[in-house]
Structure 1
Amino acid sequence: MSEPENKKPKTEESDPAPIKCADLIVDGWFHERGTLWPGQAFSLKVEEILYNQRSEYQDILVFKSESFGNVLVLDGIIQVTERDEFAYQEMIAHLPLYAHADPKKVLVIGGGDGGVLREVARHPGVEEISICEIDKDVIEVSKKYLPGLAKGYDDPRVTVHIRDGSKFMEENQESFDVIITDSSDPIGPNSVLFETPFYSSMYSSLRKGGIVCTQGECVWLLLDVIKPLVNSIKEKYSSVEFAYTCIPSYPSGQIGLILATKDRGSCKTAARKPDEETQKALQYYSADMHSASFVLPAFAQRAIFE
Protein backbone atom coordinates (compact mmCIF):
# COMPACT_ATOMS: atom_id res chain seq x y z
CA MET A 1 0.00 0.00 0.00
CA SER A 2 1.30 3.41 -0.84
CA GLU A 3 0.04 6.76 -2.05
CA PRO A 4 1.49 9.62 0.02
CA GLU A 5 0.00 12.59 -1.79
CA ASN A 6 -1.12 16.19 -1.16
CA LYS A 7 1.71 16.70 1.28
CA LYS A 8 0.77 19.07 4.08
CA PRO A 9 3.11 21.86 5.22
CA LYS A 10 5.25 20.89 8.18
CA THR A 11 6.87 22.88 10.94
CA GLU A 12 10.08 22.17 12.77
CA GLU A 13 8.14 21.79 16.03
CA SER A 14 5.58 19.29 14.71
CA ASP A 15 7.65 17.35 12.20
CA PRO A 16 9.05 14.15 13.73
CA ALA A 17 12.38 12.75 12.65
CA PRO A 18 12.14 10.57 9.53
CA ILE A 19 11.53 6.92 10.30
CA LYS A 20 14.44 4.61 9.62
CA CYS A 21 13.08 1.11 9.08
CA ALA A 22 16.43 -0.50 9.82
CA ASP A 23 16.27 0.90 13.35
CA LEU A 24 13.23 -1.33 13.95
CA ILE A 25 15.33 -4.48 13.51
CA VAL A 26 16.66 -5.53 16.90
CA ASP A 27 18.42 -8.82 17.63
CA GLY A 28 17.43 -10.17 14.23
CA TRP A 29 13.72 -9.36 14.57
CA PHE A 30 11.71 -6.62 12.84
CA HIS A 31 9.29 -4.96 15.28
CA GLU A 32 6.33 -2.99 13.94
CA ARG A 33 5.18 -0.47 16.54
CA GLY A 34 2.64 1.88 14.97
CA THR A 35 1.49 5.12 16.59
CA LEU A 36 -2.11 4.19 15.73
CA TRP A 37 -1.97 1.01 17.81
CA PRO A 38 -0.10 1.89 21.02
CA GLY A 39 0.65 -0.87 23.47
CA GLN A 40 0.98 -3.63 20.91
CA ALA A 41 3.52 -4.74 18.32
CA PHE A 42 4.02 -7.32 15.59
CA SER A 43 7.38 -8.97 15.08
CA LEU A 44 8.96 -11.10 12.35
CA LYS A 45 12.30 -12.85 12.39
CA VAL A 46 14.62 -11.43 9.72
CA GLU A 47 16.76 -13.75 7.61
CA GLU A 48 18.22 -11.09 5.31
CA ILE A 49 17.78 -7.40 4.56
CA LEU A 50 17.23 -7.19 0.80
CA TYR A 51 16.76 -3.44 0.36
CA ASN A 52 16.67 -0.31 2.52
CA GLN A 53 16.70 3.18 1.05
CA ARG A 54 14.77 6.38 1.54
CA SER A 55 12.79 7.49 -1.50
CA GLU A 56 11.61 11.04 -2.11
CA TYR A 57 8.56 10.27 0.04
CA GLN A 58 9.27 7.50 2.54
CA ASP A 59 11.70 4.96 3.97
CA ILE A 60 11.47 1.66 2.07
CA LEU A 61 12.60 -1.65 3.53
CA VAL A 62 12.38 -5.13 2.06
CA PHE A 63 13.55 -8.10 4.07
CA LYS A 64 13.34 -11.85 3.80
CA SER A 65 11.55 -13.22 6.85
CA GLU A 66 11.79 -16.70 8.30
CA SER A 67 8.06 -17.46 8.06
CA PHE A 68 6.31 -14.82 5.90
CA GLY A 69 8.59 -14.68 2.84
CA ASN A 70 9.69 -11.30 1.53
CA VAL A 71 8.19 -8.34 3.38
CA LEU A 72 7.70 -4.75 2.16
CA VAL A 73 7.80 -2.05 4.85
CA LEU A 74 7.09 1.66 4.31
CA ASP A 75 7.96 4.12 7.08
CA GLY A 76 8.09 1.30 9.58
CA ILE A 77 4.71 -0.25 8.72
CA ILE A 78 4.31 -3.63 7.01
CA GLN A 79 2.52 -3.26 3.68
CA VAL A 80 2.87 -6.70 2.09
CA THR A 81 4.19 -10.14 2.96
CA GLU A 82 4.40 -12.95 0.44
CA ARG A 83 2.68 -15.36 2.80
CA ASP A 84 -0.65 -13.58 3.30
CA GLU A 85 -0.87 -10.77 0.71
CA PHE A 86 -3.64 -12.53 -1.23
CA ALA A 87 -6.12 -12.06 1.63
CA TYR A 88 -5.90 -8.30 1.11
CA GLN A 89 -5.27 -8.01 -2.63
CA GLU A 90 -8.09 -10.35 -3.63
CA MET A 91 -10.70 -8.79 -1.39
CA ILE A 92 -9.97 -5.10 -2.09
CA ALA A 93 -10.10 -5.85 -5.82
CA HIS A 94 -12.78 -8.50 -6.23
CA LEU A 95 -15.41 -7.14 -3.84
CA PRO A 96 -16.05 -4.06 -6.03
CA LEU A 97 -15.29 -5.76 -9.35
CA TYR A 98 -17.62 -8.73 -8.86
CA ALA A 99 -20.28 -6.44 -7.35
CA HIS A 100 -20.27 -4.55 -10.67
CA ALA A 101 -22.10 -6.26 -13.54
CA ASP A 102 -19.79 -5.03 -16.30
CA PRO A 103 -16.73 -2.99 -15.27
CA LYS A 104 -14.75 -1.64 -18.23
CA LYS A 105 -12.47 1.06 -16.82
CA VAL A 106 -10.72 0.67 -13.48
CA LEU A 107 -8.53 3.12 -11.57
CA VAL A 108 -6.12 2.03 -8.83
CA ILE A 109 -4.75 4.73 -6.53
CA GLY A 110 -1.66 3.65 -4.62
CA GLY A 111 -0.99 -0.07 -4.81
CA GLY A 112 2.55 0.35 -6.11
CA ASP A 113 3.43 -3.25 -5.24
CA GLY A 114 1.21 -4.37 -8.13
CA GLY A 115 -0.95 -6.85 -6.22
CA VAL A 116 -4.23 -5.05 -6.91
CA LEU A 117 -3.34 -4.82 -10.60
CA ARG A 118 -2.72 -8.57 -10.63
CA GLU A 119 -6.23 -9.19 -9.31
CA VAL A 120 -7.96 -6.63 -11.55
CA ALA A 121 -6.29 -8.30 -14.53
CA ARG A 122 -8.18 -11.52 -13.74
CA HIS A 123 -11.32 -9.85 -15.12
CA PRO A 124 -11.29 -10.30 -18.91
CA GLY A 125 -14.09 -7.79 -19.45
CA VAL A 126 -12.03 -4.90 -18.05
CA GLU A 127 -10.67 -2.90 -20.98
CA GLU A 128 -8.50 -0.25 -19.27
CA ILE A 129 -6.59 -0.34 -15.97
CA SER A 130 -4.97 2.89 -14.77
CA ILE A 131 -2.76 3.14 -11.70
CA CYS A 132 -1.64 6.34 -9.96
CA GLU A 133 1.33 5.73 -7.66
CA ILE A 134 3.30 8.77 -6.60
CA ASP A 135 6.41 6.91 -5.43
CA LYS A 136 8.11 5.27 -8.40
CA ASP A 137 10.64 3.60 -6.10
CA VAL A 138 7.90 1.41 -4.60
CA ILE A 139 7.12 0.10 -8.08
CA GLU A 140 10.73 -0.65 -8.95
CA VAL A 141 11.49 -2.27 -5.60
CA SER A 142 8.37 -4.44 -5.86
CA LYS A 143 9.26 -5.58 -9.37
CA LYS A 144 12.62 -6.79 -8.09
CA TYR A 145 11.72 -8.29 -4.73
CA LEU A 146 7.98 -9.08 -4.99
CA PRO A 147 7.58 -10.43 -8.52
CA GLY A 148 4.52 -12.47 -7.59
CA LEU A 149 2.64 -9.22 -6.98
CA ALA A 150 4.36 -6.97 -9.49
CA LYS A 151 3.45 -9.26 -12.39
CA GLY A 152 0.26 -7.19 -12.47
CA TYR A 153 2.27 -4.57 -14.36
CA ASP A 154 2.78 -7.02 -17.22
CA ASP A 155 -0.85 -6.84 -18.35
CA PRO A 156 -1.11 -4.78 -21.57
CA ARG A 157 -4.25 -3.05 -20.32
CA VAL A 158 -2.29 -1.35 -17.51
CA THR A 159 -1.19 2.30 -17.80
CA VAL A 160 1.07 3.64 -15.04
CA HIS A 161 0.87 7.28 -13.92
CA ILE A 162 3.55 8.44 -11.48
CA ARG A 163 1.54 11.26 -10.00
CA ASP A 164 -0.99 12.49 -7.46
CA GLY A 165 -4.20 10.44 -7.70
CA SER A 166 -6.47 13.34 -6.74
CA LYS A 167 -5.19 15.52 -9.57
CA PHE A 168 -5.55 12.64 -12.02
CA MET A 169 -9.19 12.23 -11.02
CA GLU A 170 -9.81 15.95 -11.47
CA GLU A 171 -8.72 15.52 -15.08
CA ASN A 172 -10.85 12.40 -15.57
CA GLN A 173 -14.42 13.14 -14.55
CA GLU A 174 -17.11 10.44 -14.78
CA SER A 175 -14.53 8.10 -16.30
CA PHE A 176 -14.28 4.93 -14.19
CA ASP A 177 -16.56 2.06 -13.30
CA VAL A 178 -14.47 1.05 -10.28
CA ILE A 179 -11.91 3.03 -8.27
CA ILE A 180 -9.74 1.13 -5.78
CA THR A 181 -7.63 3.06 -3.28
CA ASP A 182 -4.89 0.94 -1.76
CA SER A 183 -3.55 3.36 0.81
CA SER A 184 -1.32 3.26 3.83
CA ASP A 185 -2.62 4.24 7.28
CA PRO A 186 -3.96 7.76 8.01
CA ILE A 187 -0.67 9.18 9.25
CA GLY A 188 0.93 12.36 7.90
CA PRO A 189 0.43 12.90 4.14
CA ASN A 190 -1.78 9.80 3.86
CA SER A 191 -4.39 11.30 6.18
CA VAL A 192 -5.99 13.12 3.23
CA LEU A 193 -7.03 9.74 1.82
CA PHE A 194 -9.32 9.28 4.83
CA GLU A 195 -11.04 12.65 4.53
CA THR A 196 -14.26 13.73 2.83
CA PRO A 197 -12.70 15.77 -0.04
CA PHE A 198 -10.86 12.72 -1.36
CA TYR A 199 -14.08 10.71 -1.43
CA SER A 200 -15.76 13.61 -3.23
CA SER A 201 -13.02 13.45 -5.87
CA MET A 202 -13.59 9.73 -6.32
CA TYR A 203 -17.35 10.29 -6.64
CA SER A 204 -16.84 12.86 -9.40
CA SER A 205 -14.50 10.52 -11.26
CA LEU A 206 -16.97 7.61 -11.16
CA ARG A 207 -19.37 6.76 -13.93
CA LYS A 208 -23.03 6.25 -13.09
CA GLY A 209 -23.38 2.88 -11.38
CA GLY A 210 -19.75 2.97 -10.28
CA ILE A 211 -18.16 1.64 -7.11
CA VAL A 212 -15.25 2.79 -4.97
CA CYS A 213 -13.40 0.45 -2.61
CA THR A 214 -10.84 1.81 -0.18
CA GLN A 215 -8.66 0.50 2.60
CA GLY A 216 -10.90 1.11 5.61
CA GLU A 217 -8.74 0.40 8.69
CA CYS A 218 -9.29 -2.02 11.56
CA VAL A 219 -12.46 -2.15 13.68
CA TRP A 220 -10.41 -3.26 16.69
CA LEU A 221 -8.23 -0.16 16.56
CA LEU A 222 -9.71 2.75 14.63
CA LEU A 223 -13.49 2.97 15.00
CA ASP A 224 -12.93 6.64 15.83
CA VAL A 225 -11.60 7.09 12.29
CA ILE A 226 -14.02 4.78 10.48
CA LYS A 227 -17.35 6.06 11.84
CA PRO A 228 -16.85 9.81 11.11
CA LEU A 229 -15.65 9.01 7.59
CA VAL A 230 -18.63 6.78 6.85
CA ASN A 231 -21.01 9.42 8.23
CA SER A 232 -19.39 12.18 6.20
CA ILE A 233 -19.82 10.45 2.83
CA LYS A 234 -23.29 8.92 3.30
CA GLU A 235 -25.05 11.99 1.93
CA LYS A 236 -23.12 11.93 -1.35
CA TYR A 237 -22.90 8.21 -2.16
CA SER A 238 -25.96 6.06 -2.84
CA SER A 239 -24.74 3.39 -0.43
CA VAL A 240 -21.81 3.13 1.97
CA GLU A 241 -20.88 -0.29 3.35
CA PHE A 242 -18.06 -1.83 5.34
CA ALA A 243 -16.49 -5.24 4.75
CA TYR A 244 -13.35 -6.84 6.13
CA THR A 245 -10.72 -9.46 5.52
CA CYS A 246 -8.44 -11.36 7.88
CA ILE A 247 -4.71 -11.01 7.31
CA PRO A 248 -2.19 -12.07 9.97
CA SER A 249 0.52 -9.50 9.28
CA TYR A 250 -1.76 -6.46 9.68
CA PRO A 251 -2.48 -4.95 13.13
CA SER A 252 -4.95 -7.16 15.04
CA GLY A 253 -5.05 -9.54 12.05
CA GLN A 254 -7.90 -7.70 10.34
CA ILE A 255 -8.37 -4.86 7.86
CA GLY A 256 -11.56 -3.15 6.77
CA LEU A 257 -12.75 -2.09 3.33
CA ILE A 258 -15.16 0.76 2.62
CA LEU A 259 -17.36 0.27 -0.45
CA ALA A 260 -19.43 3.18 -1.71
CA THR A 261 -21.60 3.45 -4.82
CA LYS A 262 -22.84 6.08 -7.25
CA ASP A 263 -26.44 5.80 -8.48
CA ARG A 264 -26.78 2.14 -7.58
CA GLY A 265 -27.49 -0.06 -4.57
CA SER A 266 -25.64 -2.43 -2.28
CA CYS A 267 -22.42 -4.30 -3.01
CA LYS A 268 -23.16 -7.09 -0.53
CA THR A 269 -24.16 -9.60 -3.20
CA ALA A 270 -21.91 -10.41 -6.15
CA ALA A 271 -23.36 -9.53 -9.54
CA ARG A 272 -20.91 -11.94 -11.19
CA LYS A 273 -18.88 -14.92 -10.04
CA PRO A 274 -15.39 -16.14 -10.95
CA ASP A 275 -15.33 -18.83 -13.61
CA GLU A 276 -14.08 -22.24 -12.53
CA GLU A 277 -10.49 -21.64 -13.65
CA THR A 278 -10.27 -18.27 -11.92
CA GLN A 279 -11.79 -19.56 -8.70
CA LYS A 280 -9.18 -22.32 -8.56
CA ALA A 281 -6.46 -19.67 -8.78
CA LEU A 282 -7.94 -17.56 -5.98
CA GLN A 283 -6.92 -18.30 -2.41
CA TYR A 284 -9.34 -16.15 -0.38
CA TYR A 285 -12.17 -14.65 -2.43
CA SER A 286 -15.30 -16.57 -3.40
CA ALA A 287 -18.95 -15.62 -3.91
CA ASP A 288 -19.74 -16.92 -0.42
CA MET A 289 -16.84 -14.99 1.09
CA HIS A 290 -18.06 -11.90 -0.79
CA SER A 291 -21.35 -11.85 1.11
CA ALA A 292 -19.87 -13.03 4.40
CA SER A 293 -17.28 -10.25 4.51
CA PHE A 294 -20.02 -7.65 5.09
CA VAL A 295 -21.28 -9.41 8.24
CA LEU A 296 -19.63 -7.44 11.02
CA PRO A 297 -19.24 -8.29 14.70
CA ALA A 298 -22.10 -6.75 16.66
CA PHE A 299 -19.91 -4.13 18.35
CA ALA A 300 -18.55 -2.92 14.99
CA GLN A 301 -21.97 -2.85 13.32
CA ARG A 302 -23.35 -0.71 16.13
CA ALA A 303 -20.33 1.57 16.32
CA ILE A 304 -20.16 2.30 12.58
CA PHE A 305 -23.79 2.36 11.46
CA GLU A 306 -26.00 3.10 14.47
Structure 2
Amino acid sequence: MSSGLTFKETLYPGVEVNYACDSVLYQDRSEHQDLVLFENPVFGKVLMLDGITQVTTADEFIYHEMMAHVPILAHGAAREVLIVGGGDCGMAEEALKHPGIARLTQVEIDDAVVEFSRTNFSEFNAPVFDDPRFDLVIADGARFVAETDRRFDVVMVDSTDPMGPGAVLFTQEFYRNVHRCLTPGGVLVTQNGVPFLQRAELVTSVRHFASIYKDAAAYVAAIPTYFGGHMAFGWASDNADLRKTPVDVLTERFDAAGFDTRYYTPEVHAAAFALPRFIRDAVDEGRKG
Protein backbone atom coordinates (compact mmCIF):
# COMPACT_ATOMS: atom_id res chain seq x y z
CA MET A 1 0.00 0.00 0.00
CA SER A 2 1.27 3.45 -0.90
CA SER A 3 2.59 5.60 1.93
CA GLY A 4 1.09 8.66 0.27
CA LEU A 5 4.59 10.03 -0.37
CA THR A 6 5.86 10.84 -3.83
CA PHE A 7 9.33 11.63 -5.10
CA LYS A 8 9.59 14.14 -7.91
CA GLU A 9 12.24 14.20 -10.61
CA THR A 10 12.69 17.51 -12.43
CA LEU A 11 15.71 16.76 -14.60
CA TYR A 12 14.01 18.07 -17.72
CA PRO A 13 12.75 21.69 -17.77
CA GLY A 14 8.99 21.79 -18.17
CA VAL A 15 8.52 18.13 -17.22
CA GLU A 16 7.98 16.49 -13.85
CA VAL A 17 8.09 12.75 -13.22
CA ASN A 18 6.46 11.67 -9.97
CA TYR A 19 7.08 8.29 -8.37
CA ALA A 20 4.63 6.90 -5.85
CA CYS A 21 6.43 5.68 -2.74
CA ASP A 22 5.36 2.56 -0.89
CA SER A 23 8.11 3.05 1.69
CA VAL A 24 11.36 4.95 2.16
CA LEU A 25 14.14 2.43 2.62
CA TYR A 26 17.00 4.87 3.12
CA GLN A 27 17.64 8.60 2.94
CA ASP A 28 20.85 10.48 3.68
CA ARG A 29 23.37 12.98 2.36
CA SER A 30 26.89 11.78 1.70
CA GLU A 31 29.93 13.97 1.18
CA HIS A 32 29.11 14.20 -2.52
CA GLN A 33 25.33 13.93 -2.99
CA ASP A 34 21.82 13.50 -1.61
CA LEU A 35 20.71 9.89 -1.74
CA VAL A 36 17.31 8.31 -1.34
CA LEU A 37 16.13 4.73 -1.88
CA PHE A 38 12.43 3.94 -1.92
CA GLU A 39 9.99 1.27 -3.06
CA ASN A 40 7.75 1.97 -6.05
CA PRO A 41 4.94 -0.42 -7.05
CA VAL A 42 6.06 -0.52 -10.70
CA PHE A 43 9.84 -0.12 -10.66
CA GLY A 44 10.67 -1.82 -7.35
CA LYS A 45 13.60 -0.23 -5.55
CA VAL A 46 14.38 3.22 -6.94
CA LEU A 47 17.65 5.02 -6.24
CA MET A 48 17.75 8.81 -6.67
CA LEU A 49 20.86 10.97 -6.35
CA ASP A 50 20.25 14.71 -6.02
CA GLY A 51 16.65 14.17 -7.12
CA ILE A 52 17.55 12.34 -10.34
CA THR A 53 16.67 8.68 -10.93
CA GLN A 54 19.78 6.52 -11.23
CA VAL A 55 18.67 2.90 -11.17
CA THR A 56 15.66 0.73 -10.45
CA THR A 57 15.56 -2.99 -9.81
CA ALA A 58 12.83 -3.49 -12.44
CA ASP A 59 14.64 -2.17 -15.51
CA GLU A 60 18.34 -1.89 -14.62
CA PHE A 61 19.09 -4.87 -16.83
CA ILE A 62 18.38 -2.91 -20.03
CA TYR A 63 20.81 -0.10 -19.34
CA HIS A 64 23.52 -2.32 -17.92
CA GLU A 65 23.32 -5.00 -20.61
CA MET A 66 23.41 -2.52 -23.47
CA MET A 67 26.22 -0.43 -22.06
CA ALA A 68 28.40 -3.41 -21.19
CA HIS A 69 27.80 -6.08 -23.83
CA VAL A 70 27.74 -3.85 -26.91
CA PRO A 71 31.34 -2.57 -26.61
CA ILE A 72 32.78 -5.79 -25.17
CA LEU A 73 31.30 -8.03 -27.87
CA ALA A 74 32.06 -5.51 -30.64
CA HIS A 75 35.69 -5.42 -29.52
CA GLY A 76 35.88 -9.19 -29.39
CA ALA A 77 39.09 -9.51 -27.37
CA ALA A 78 38.71 -7.21 -24.38
CA ARG A 79 40.81 -8.20 -21.39
CA GLU A 80 41.22 -4.95 -19.48
CA VAL A 81 38.00 -3.00 -18.88
CA LEU A 82 37.48 0.28 -17.05
CA ILE A 83 34.24 1.63 -15.63
CA VAL A 84 34.17 5.26 -14.55
CA GLY A 85 31.31 5.79 -12.09
CA GLY A 86 28.74 3.01 -11.90
CA GLY A 87 28.56 2.94 -8.12
CA ASP A 88 25.57 0.59 -8.10
CA CYS A 89 27.90 -2.04 -9.65
CA GLY A 90 25.28 -3.24 -12.11
CA MET A 91 27.59 -2.45 -15.01
CA ALA A 92 30.40 -4.40 -13.40
CA GLU A 93 28.08 -7.36 -12.86
CA GLU A 94 27.25 -7.51 -16.58
CA ALA A 95 30.82 -6.95 -17.77
CA LEU A 96 32.20 -9.69 -15.53
CA LYS A 97 29.94 -12.23 -17.22
CA HIS A 98 32.50 -12.23 -20.04
CA PRO A 99 35.06 -14.93 -19.20
CA GLY A 100 37.72 -13.33 -21.39
CA ILE A 101 38.01 -10.28 -19.18
CA ALA A 102 41.13 -10.56 -17.05
CA ARG A 103 40.47 -7.51 -14.87
CA LEU A 104 37.66 -5.02 -14.49
CA THR A 105 38.64 -1.77 -12.80
CA GLN A 106 35.88 0.44 -11.47
CA VAL A 107 36.70 3.99 -10.42
CA GLU A 108 33.97 5.52 -8.27
CA ILE A 109 34.32 8.81 -6.43
CA ASP A 110 31.92 7.99 -3.59
CA ASP A 111 32.62 4.88 -1.52
CA ALA A 112 29.35 5.44 0.35
CA VAL A 113 27.38 4.75 -2.86
CA VAL A 114 29.24 1.48 -3.45
CA GLU A 115 28.72 0.26 0.10
CA PHE A 116 25.11 1.34 0.00
CA SER A 117 24.53 -0.48 -3.29
CA ARG A 118 26.29 -3.59 -2.04
CA THR A 119 23.78 -3.74 0.79
CA ASN A 120 20.64 -2.70 -1.07
CA PHE A 121 21.06 -4.02 -4.63
CA SER A 122 22.47 -7.46 -3.93
CA GLU A 123 19.79 -8.96 -6.18
CA PHE A 124 21.85 -7.86 -9.19
CA ASN A 125 25.35 -6.95 -7.96
CA ALA A 126 26.23 -9.66 -5.41
CA PRO A 127 28.50 -11.65 -7.78
CA VAL A 128 30.75 -8.63 -8.34
CA PHE A 129 32.18 -8.53 -4.85
CA ASP A 130 33.21 -12.19 -4.91
CA ASP A 131 34.92 -11.97 -8.29
CA PRO A 132 38.73 -11.75 -7.99
CA ARG A 133 38.86 -9.84 -11.29
CA PHE A 134 36.99 -6.89 -9.76
CA ASP A 135 39.32 -4.01 -8.90
CA LEU A 136 37.51 -1.18 -7.08
CA VAL A 137 39.29 2.17 -6.91
CA ILE A 138 37.75 4.97 -4.85
CA ALA A 139 38.96 8.07 -6.64
CA ASP A 140 38.02 10.88 -8.98
CA GLY A 141 37.48 9.27 -12.39
CA ALA A 142 38.64 12.31 -14.34
CA ARG A 143 41.89 12.41 -12.41
CA PHE A 144 42.36 8.66 -12.76
CA VAL A 145 42.25 8.65 -16.57
CA ALA A 146 44.53 11.70 -16.66
CA GLU A 147 47.20 10.08 -14.48
CA THR A 148 47.06 6.29 -14.85
CA ASP A 149 49.78 4.46 -16.73
CA ARG A 150 47.46 1.50 -17.34
CA ARG A 151 45.72 0.83 -20.66
CA PHE A 152 42.22 -0.49 -21.30
CA ASP A 153 40.46 -2.20 -24.20
CA VAL A 154 37.02 -0.89 -23.24
CA VAL A 155 36.10 2.14 -21.14
CA MET A 156 32.50 2.62 -19.99
CA VAL A 157 31.48 5.93 -18.43
CA ASP A 158 28.45 5.21 -16.27
CA SER A 159 28.00 8.78 -15.08
CA THR A 160 25.29 11.01 -13.75
CA ASP A 161 24.07 13.81 -16.02
CA PRO A 162 26.39 16.72 -16.92
CA MET A 163 25.79 18.81 -13.86
CA GLY A 164 27.46 19.05 -10.48
CA PRO A 165 30.22 16.48 -9.88
CA GLY A 166 29.35 14.63 -13.09
CA ALA A 167 29.93 17.60 -15.42
CA VAL A 168 33.68 16.96 -15.74
CA LEU A 169 32.96 13.54 -17.29
CA PHE A 170 31.45 15.24 -20.37
CA THR A 171 34.38 17.49 -21.22
CA GLN A 172 36.75 17.31 -24.16
CA GLU A 173 39.68 17.06 -21.77
CA PHE A 174 38.18 14.00 -20.11
CA TYR A 175 37.51 12.27 -23.44
CA ARG A 176 41.06 13.04 -24.56
CA ASN A 177 42.45 11.50 -21.39
CA VAL A 178 40.32 8.40 -21.94
CA HIS A 179 41.75 8.16 -25.44
CA ARG A 180 45.24 8.31 -23.92
CA CYS A 181 44.61 5.24 -21.79
CA LEU A 182 42.84 3.13 -24.44
CA THR A 183 44.70 0.35 -26.18
CA PRO A 184 44.92 0.67 -30.00
CA GLY A 185 41.47 -0.01 -31.40
CA GLY A 186 39.85 0.27 -27.97
CA VAL A 187 36.38 1.71 -27.50
CA LEU A 188 34.71 4.26 -25.22
CA VAL A 189 30.99 4.22 -24.44
CA THR A 190 29.16 6.86 -22.44
CA GLN A 191 25.79 7.61 -20.93
CA ASN A 192 24.38 10.41 -23.08
CA GLY A 193 20.86 10.99 -21.89
CA VAL A 194 17.55 11.06 -23.75
CA PRO A 195 18.05 12.92 -27.05
CA PHE A 196 14.42 14.02 -27.37
CA LEU A 197 14.87 16.06 -24.18
CA GLN A 198 18.67 16.39 -23.96
CA ARG A 199 19.74 16.85 -27.56
CA ALA A 200 22.53 19.31 -26.77
CA GLU A 201 24.20 16.78 -24.48
CA LEU A 202 24.52 14.24 -27.31
CA VAL A 203 25.63 16.82 -29.88
CA THR A 204 28.32 18.16 -27.57
CA SER A 205 29.69 14.75 -26.64
CA VAL A 206 29.85 13.59 -30.27
CA ARG A 207 31.56 16.88 -31.20
CA HIS A 208 34.22 16.18 -28.57
CA PHE A 209 34.57 12.56 -29.73
CA ALA A 210 35.01 13.62 -33.35
CA SER A 211 37.85 15.96 -32.44
CA ILE A 212 39.80 13.11 -30.81
CA TYR A 213 38.70 9.74 -32.20
CA LYS A 214 38.48 8.46 -35.77
CA ASP A 215 34.94 7.17 -35.24
CA ALA A 216 32.29 9.13 -33.31
CA ALA A 217 28.79 7.72 -33.08
CA ALA A 218 25.93 6.69 -30.80
CA TYR A 219 23.52 3.83 -30.28
CA VAL A 220 20.19 3.62 -28.48
CA ALA A 221 18.02 1.52 -26.18
CA ALA A 222 14.52 1.86 -24.75
CA ILE A 223 14.66 2.16 -20.94
CA PRO A 224 11.34 2.86 -19.19
CA THR A 225 12.86 4.70 -16.21
CA TYR A 226 14.54 7.31 -18.40
CA PHE A 227 11.50 9.29 -19.47
CA GLY A 228 11.33 10.75 -22.96
CA GLY A 229 11.99 7.93 -25.43
CA HIS A 230 15.30 6.48 -26.58
CA MET A 231 18.30 6.51 -24.29
CA ALA A 232 21.54 7.35 -26.13
CA PHE A 233 24.94 5.82 -25.54
CA GLY A 234 27.93 7.66 -26.95
CA TRP A 235 30.47 5.64 -28.92
CA ALA A 236 34.07 6.56 -29.75
CA SER A 237 36.92 4.50 -31.17
CA ASP A 238 39.82 4.70 -33.59
CA ASN A 239 38.54 1.48 -35.17
CA ALA A 240 35.49 2.36 -37.27
CA ASP A 241 34.84 -1.31 -38.04
CA LEU A 242 33.87 -2.14 -34.46
CA ARG A 243 30.38 -0.67 -34.61
CA LYS A 244 29.79 -2.51 -37.90
CA THR A 245 30.60 -5.96 -36.51
CA PRO A 246 28.35 -8.44 -38.38
CA VAL A 247 25.53 -10.16 -36.54
CA ASP A 248 26.99 -13.61 -37.20
CA VAL A 249 30.27 -12.59 -35.57
CA LEU A 250 28.43 -11.07 -32.60
CA THR A 251 26.36 -14.26 -32.30
CA GLU A 252 29.46 -16.43 -32.29
CA ARG A 253 31.07 -14.30 -29.57
CA PHE A 254 27.89 -14.11 -27.51
CA ASP A 255 27.32 -17.86 -27.65
CA ALA A 256 30.94 -18.49 -26.68
CA ALA A 257 30.60 -16.20 -23.65
CA GLY A 258 27.87 -18.51 -22.38
CA PHE A 259 25.46 -16.35 -20.41
CA ASP A 260 21.80 -15.33 -20.72
CA THR A 261 20.39 -11.83 -21.19
CA ARG A 262 16.97 -10.25 -20.86
CA TYR A 263 17.33 -7.40 -23.39
CA TYR A 264 20.58 -7.77 -25.33
CA THR A 265 20.74 -9.96 -28.42
CA PRO A 266 23.23 -9.76 -31.30
CA GLU A 267 20.39 -8.57 -33.54
CA VAL A 268 19.42 -5.82 -31.09
CA HIS A 269 23.11 -4.88 -30.85
CA ALA A 270 23.36 -4.30 -34.61
CA ALA A 271 20.00 -2.54 -34.81
CA ALA A 272 20.87 -0.17 -31.94
CA PHE A 273 23.18 1.74 -34.28
CA ALA A 274 20.31 2.32 -36.77
CA LEU A 275 19.24 5.69 -35.38
CA PRO A 276 15.92 7.46 -35.79
CA ARG A 277 16.43 10.48 -38.03
CA PHE A 278 16.21 13.12 -35.27
CA ILE A 279 18.92 11.32 -33.30
CA ARG A 280 21.03 10.71 -36.40
CA ASP A 281 20.76 14.42 -37.18
CA ALA A 282 22.09 15.24 -33.70
CA VAL A 283 25.02 12.86 -34.21
CA ASP A 284 25.74 14.32 -37.65
CA GLU A 285 25.69 17.83 -36.20
CA GLY A 286 28.22 16.78 -33.58
CA ARG A 287 30.48 15.18 -36.19
CA LYS A 288 30.54 18.41 -38.23
CA GLY A 289 31.93 20.31 -35.24
TM-score of the superposition, structure 1-length normalised? Answer: 0.86
Deviations 1:176-230 (A, max 9, x none): 0000000001112211111111100100010111001110111101112211321
Aligned to 2:219: 243
Aligned to 1:104: 79
- Are residues 233 and 276 of structure 1, via their aligned partners in 2, closer, same or farther at CA, if it must alter by over 3 Å? closer
Equivalent of residue 31 in structure 1, options 8, 11, 14? 8
Q: Share of identical aligned residues, percent?
A: 36
The residue type equivalent to 2:22 in the other structure is E
Q: Distance in 2 between matches of 1:277 and 1:269?
A: 16
Aligned to 2:140: 164
Aligned to 2:272: 293
Aligned to 1:47: 22
Q: Report the structure, 1 or 2, having the larger helix content.
A: 2
Q: How does 1:247-286 map to 2 (within 5 A)?
A: 247-263=223-239, 265-269=241-245, 271-272=249-250, 273-275=253-255, 278-279=258-259, 281-286=260-265
Deviates more, 1:53-62 or 1:140-149: 140-149
Deviations 1:245-264 (A, max 9, x none): 11111121432101111355
Q: Distance in 2 between matches of 1:207 and 1:118?
A: 23
* 2:118 paired with 1:148: no
Q: Distance in 2 between matches of 1:189 and 1:166?
A: 10
Deviation at 1:148, TM superposition (A): 2.2
Q: Distance in 1 between matches of 2:204 and 2:15?
A: 24
Q: Do the aligned residues in 2 keep the contact of 1:174 with 1:204 (CA within 8 Å)?
A: no
Q: Do the aligned residues in 2 keep the contact of 1:109 with 1:133 (CA within 8 Å)?
A: yes
TM-score of the superposition, structure 2-length normalised? Answer: 0.91
Q: Distance in 1 between matches of 2:279 and 2:42?
A: 31
Deviations 1:83-115 (A, max 9, x none): 000110000111110110200100000001010
Alignment partner of 1:227: what SS? helix
Deviations 1:5-52 (A, max 9, x none): xxxxxxxxxxxxxxxxxxxx9942222112xx1121222221111110
Q: Distance in 2 between matches of 1:304 and 1:82?
A: 31
Aligned to 1:131: 106
Q: Distance in 2 between matches of 1:163 and 1:98?
A: 28
Q: How does 1:68-217 map to 2 (within 5 A)?
A: 68-151=43-126, 152-173=128-149, 175-217=151-193
Q: Do the aligned residues in 1 keep the contact of 2:3 with 2:22 (CA within 8 Å)?
A: no
Q: Distance in 2 between matches of 1:180 and 1:130?
A: 10
Structure 1 portions without partners, runs of 5+:
1-24
- Alpha-carbon RMSD across the aligned residues, in angstroms, is 1.9
Q: Do the aligned residues in 2 keep the contact of 1:238 with 1:265 (CA within 8 Å)?
A: no
Deviates more, 1:165-174 or 1:70-79: 165-174
The residue type equivalent to 2:185 in the other structure is G
Q: Do the aligned residues in 1 keep the contact of 2:85 with 2:158 (CA within 8 Å)?
A: yes
